[in-house]
Amino acid sequence: MIFLLLALSNPFTRSEQADLLELNHHYDRNGCHVYDQLIVWRQNPATFRFEVASWTLCDTQGKYPARSASGLYRVSWLDSGKPREVVSRQYRESWTQTDPEREDQKRVHVDDRIRLIEK
């Protein structure tokens, strides 16, 4: 009974799997910080390439991955007002002057992405 109550009180009970979570710090040409974004990558089974499944700007919601006791990286946030949690075995942090999500759009159209589950 207690487990059921805890599960119901946690809106992030359903996790989605990703192949890679990336925290990207984007800078302009002058080296000034522009924004931070969380990029969720999935590996395309046909090409074995990592492709963007989803992305979100990091803001006051604390969308920063944390390593859990089980060794998985876990991040949760509100996506269009609905709770979302993603876990992955892999995590990387990057500092770039190009946007990895937009670069991925040059290879894979947004409509062709292996997306997260629509909620």
The tens digit of pLDDT for each residue in 39-73 reads 999 999 989 999 999 898 887 666 788 888 888 99
Beta strands in 58-98 (DSSP E): 66-67, 73-79, 82-88, 91-96
- Domain membership flag for residue 119: no
- Domain membership flag for residue 50: yes
- Domain membership flag for residue 72: yes
Which two tokens mark 50? 């990592």
Residues 78, 54, 63: CA angle, nearest 5 degrees: 40
Residue 24 bridge partners (DSSP):
37, 94
Distance CA 72, CA 2 (A): 25
Give the range of the structural domain holding residue 57, as residue numbers without chain letter: 15-112
Greatest mean pLDDT range, 2-16, 18-32, 52-66? 18-32
pLDDT of residue 1 exceeding 60? no
Which two tokens mark 21? 């979570």
- Domain membership flag for residue 54: yes
- Domain membership flag for residue 71: yes
pLDDT digits (tens, 9 = 90+) for 67-118: 888 889 999 888 888 888 999 999 999 999 999 999 988 888 777 776 666 6
- Domain membership flag for residue 2: no
Task: Provide the pLDDT for residue 84.
Answer: 86
- Domain membership flag for residue 1: no
Q: How many domains is the chain built from?
A: 1
- Domain membership flag for residue 68: yes
Task: Provide the pLDDT for residue 58.
Answer: 87
